[in-house]
Amino acid sequence: MSGFIAALPMYDWPECRADVDEQWANVRDRLRAAGIDAPDRLVRRNGDMPSVPGGICDSGGSIIAPDPASLPPNELDLHTLWCHPLLLFSQTCWGPMERGLAPHVQVIGQQDYSGIEGGGAEFYSSAVVSRQIDGDVPAPPNGKPNLPIGNLRGKRLAYNSTDSMSGIIGLERDLTSLNEDMSIFSSRLETGGHRNSIIEVAEEDATVAAIDCFTWQLAKRFEPMASALNVIGWTARRKGLPFIASRHVSPQIIELIAQELMRSKP
């Protein structure tokens, strides 16, 4: 198989695209040295993906995603990207994996969260943020949830998407472990992205949001509205973003990629 595509969409903010490109170049060069035909550049738009006439099908022939050529070329449909038969390397989230993506891809490694507050090795947690109160609550060293129930009850939650582990699924599971549930919130606002959630809370259109620790680090550097917020709690530490490839990629190539990732975390 040739003509592979790759993408690193989950932390690809405009302000750090050069860093993301450098990250991919390092991975790409190691893969090429191992004999894998890794692509030069990352996919960032539907128009960057090769057409799949008739749509992308599962192993039984059922359509699971549209032909990328049928989508708005300057947008990026993540589900189509993740299901693309030529996908060699990408990040995804365990939420979509649990909700139907897993049969169509192969897990080849994990994002590394070493050196990030709330993270460690392949594990991450989400910072629960609200408008400035009394300074930031540090991430628990034991990785257990630290949720300020009194500051969540009756509040409006902003979250990125219903299939986000960091934005809502992990938070819901942690509340369950504390004998609470999502009814603790008076209402919820789906924003389409963690950065949007930060802005909604800063502008008081919502009260709280759970933001994965890597994104929160980016926000403190690049999103001015983040300065209006404080961390008031943390979700539990759990496995962070997996790296995936299409189920169509051969086992030999998958093994080579996994070996390269083990030798040097991207």
Bridge-based pairing of strands 156-159 and 208-212 is parallel
- 170-194 per-position pLDDT tens digit: 999 999 999 999 999 999 999 999 9
What is the per-residue pLDDT for 265?
A: 57
pLDDT digits (tens, 9 = 90+) for 104-155: 999 999 999 999 999 999 999 999 999 977 789 999 999 999 999 999 999 9
Q: Which residue has the higher pLDDT, 71 or 263?
A: 71
Reported confidence tier of residue 262, pLDDT bands at 50, 70, 90:
confident
Angle formed by the axes of helices 251-263 and 17-33, to 10°?
Answer: 120
Total Cβ atoms within 10 A of residue 219:
23
CA–CA separation, 217 and 212 (whole Å):
9
Enter the pTM of the model: 0.95
Query: What is the C-alpha separation between 11 and 71, in angstroms, rounded?
Result: 22
pLDDT at 264 over 80: no
- C-alpha–C-alpha distance, residues 219 and 209, integer Å: 13
Token pair in block for residue 130: 């609200």
| Residues 225/195, Cβ–Cβ less than 8 Å | no
The pair of three-digit structure tokens given for residue 227, joined into one six-digit string? 């300065």
* Predicted local confidence at residue 158, as pLDDT: 98
Does residue 200 contact residue 160 with C-beta atoms inside 8 Å? Answer: no
Give dist(CA 168, CA 209) in Å, integer. 9
pLDDT beyond 90 at 165? yes
pLDDT at 266 over 60: no
Quote the pLDDT of residue 2.
63
pLDDT band at 1; cut points 50, 70, 90: very low
Residue 263 has pLDDT above 90, yes or no: no
